[in-house]
């Protein structure tokens, strides 16, 4: 496995670590949790890390199997037309999610306020955040695609995927450790970060959905109209 591939995966993992699920919600939990409740944040992070790791394993195994057994069928015109429709649908959906458009229509802005509770609630919150974000986490999907295309052996990609997920949750763990030793000076910065992510969470989701839709539609259009797949 080359150093370049590892650096590319590390860069994608760092981008993933700044998402609302891996950084925004942990910041909320950091500000809301007392020392006796820190375990809830750790439960949340463990849940989302395990969720993404299992999703990554499933994608790695599934993509390899699909490409080996159904590669020609997946490159057929009907599949590309379905992909094109899905891409256009997601792109249009992004406009409905745009907070500026909702404001013009007089609709209340969507809020992303996580509910804090016991261990079961934290597990459910982690699973919910993972389910909401997994389809739109372009860096994660790109990393899985890169590893699949590199034809890595399972003995290689299994620990690499684990390292990727660990990097994703390092920023909130770092903030948790820093908060333990410098709580008074860190607290105002966390409040500002929470405010910024709250104001921009809806826009980030809208832009991510738009980008995913555009990329899906573009790939399908190129295959249908410019490479003779139709």
Q: What is the pLDDT of residues 5-19, one digit of tens each?
A: 888 888 888 888 878
Mean pLDDT of 59-86: 76
How many angstroms separate the CA atoms of 64 and 56, rounded? 12
Q: pLDDT at residue 218 above 70? A: yes
Asked, for residue 100, whether it belongs to a domain, the answer is no
Asked, for residue 88, whether it belongs to a domain, the answer is no
Asked, for residue 206, whether it belongs to a domain, the answer is no
How many angstroms separate the CA atoms of 118 and 85, rounded? 41
Decide: 103 and 96 in contact? Cβ < 8 Å.
no
Asked, for residue 169, whether it belongs to a domain, the answer is yes
Q: In sequence order, which residues have a C-beta less than 8 Å from that of residue 109 and are 6 or more positions away?
A: 99, 102, 103, 202
Q: pLDDT at residue 107 above 90? A: no
Q: Calculate the average pLDDT of the chain.
A: 78
Question: Whats the size of the chain, residue-wise?
Answer: 230
Say how many domains are in the chain: 1
Q: Residue 53: exposed, middle, or buried by beta-carbon count in 10 A (0-12, 13-18, 19+)? A: middle
Asked, for residue 119, whether it belongs to a domain, the answer is yes
Q: In sequence order, which residues have a C-beta less than 8 Å from that of residue 165 and are 6 or more positions away?
A: 13, 49, 52, 53, 56
Q: pLDDT at residue 134 above 90? A: no
| Of the candidate ranges 56-65, 74-83, 163-172, 205-214, the one whose mean pLDDT is the lowest | 205-214
Residue with tokens 């016991």: 118
Q: What is the pLDDT of residue 130?
A: 83
Mean pLDDT of 103-122: 64
Asked, for residue 63, whether it belongs to a domain, the answer is yes
pTM of the model: 0.68
Mean pLDDT of 28-42: 72
pLDDT in tens, 159-177: 999 999 999 999 989 888 8
Please give the residue range of the domain that contains residue 168.
3-73+113-199
Which contacts (CB < 8 Å, 24+ apart) does range 176-180 have?
Answer: 176/26, 176/30, 176/38, 176/41, 179/30
Asked, for residue 80, whether it belongs to a domain, the answer is no
Asked, for residue 204, whether it belongs to a domain, the answer is no
């Amino acid at each position: 496995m080359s150093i370049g591939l590892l650096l590319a995966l590390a860069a994608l993992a760092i981008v993933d670590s700044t998402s609302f699920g891996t950084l925004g919600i942990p910041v909320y939990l950091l500000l809301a949790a007392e020392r006796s409740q820190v375990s809830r944040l750790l439960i949340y992070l463990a849940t989302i890390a395990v969720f993404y790791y299992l999703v990554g394993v499933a994608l790695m195994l599934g993509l390899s199997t699909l490409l080996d057994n159904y590669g020609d069928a997946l490159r057929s015109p009907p599949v590309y037309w379905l992909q094109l429709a899905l891409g256009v649908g997601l792109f249009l959906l992004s406009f409905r999610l745009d907070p500026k458009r909702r404001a013009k229509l007089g609709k209340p802005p969507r809020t992303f306020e996580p509910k804090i509770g016991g261990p079961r609630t934290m597990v459910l919150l982690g699973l919910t955040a993972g389910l909401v974000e997994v389809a739109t986490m372009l860096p994660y999907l790109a990393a899985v695609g890169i590893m699949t295309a590199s034809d890595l052996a399972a003995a290689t990609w299994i620990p690499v995927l684990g390292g990727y997920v660990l990097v994703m949750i390092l920023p909130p763990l770092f903030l948790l450790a820093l908060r333990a030793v410098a709580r008074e000076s860190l607290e105002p910065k966390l409040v500002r970060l929470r405010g910024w992510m709250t104001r921009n969470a809806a826009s980030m989701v809208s832009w991510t959905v738009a980008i995913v839709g555009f990329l899906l539609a573009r790939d399908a259009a190129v295959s249908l109209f410019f490479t003779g797949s139709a």
